[in-house]
């Protein structure tokens, strides 16, 4: 299974939040709920630059992402193991920021106090190495 799989893409379209796991300096996982964008090749996230998850990613880019939903009898989800790469300012990053603002309107504008990504934000892309899904039809 890949991130490009139609059932995976369709499921992720229904989600606003995923859980991101990064690896601390002591090897312990740090789990953080995150807003995200997805396409057939990557998951993209934005965060404040001086957070523990960003320090973890700068030291070790390995991540694990989980999106799930359902009840006891009908659990569905996707897990993605991959590596994060920070995106520098570019037309691609600005286009992703615009998509971000559209997806999370009006909440993102409130957090950013406008439509421009603040200087203290970083954007990173997670390229999948392994994708697993369950309960998707």
**Rounded distance, CA 86 to CA 131, Å?**
21
pLDDT in tens, 73-112: 889 999 999 999 999 999 999 999 999 999 999 999 999 9
**Rounded distance, CA 94 to CA 97, Å?**
5
Domain 6-134's class?
mainly beta
Q: Please tell me the predicted confidence (pLDDT) of residue 71.
A: 86
Q: What is the largest CA-CA distance in the chain?
A: 45
Confidence (pTM): 0.94
- DSSP H helices, 1-137, are 6-13, 52-59, 91-103, 107-112
């Amino acid at each position: 299974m890949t991130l490009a799989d139609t059932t995976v893409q369709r499921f992720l379209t229904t989600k606003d939040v995923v859980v991101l796991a990064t690896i601390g300096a002591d090897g312990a996982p740090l789990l953080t709920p995150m807003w995200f964008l997805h396409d057939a090749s990557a998951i993209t996230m934005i965060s404040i630059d001086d957070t523990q998850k960003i320090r973890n990613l700068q030291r070790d880019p390995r991540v694990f992402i989980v999106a799930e939903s359902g009840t006891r009898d009908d659990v569905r989800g996707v897990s993605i193991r991959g590596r994060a790469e920070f995106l520098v300012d570019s037309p691609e990053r600005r286009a992703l920021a615009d998509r971000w603002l559209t997806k999370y309107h009006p909440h993102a504008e409130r957090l950013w106090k406008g439509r421009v990504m603040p200087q203290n934000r970083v954007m990173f892309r997670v390229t999948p190495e392994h994708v697993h899904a369950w309960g998707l039809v």
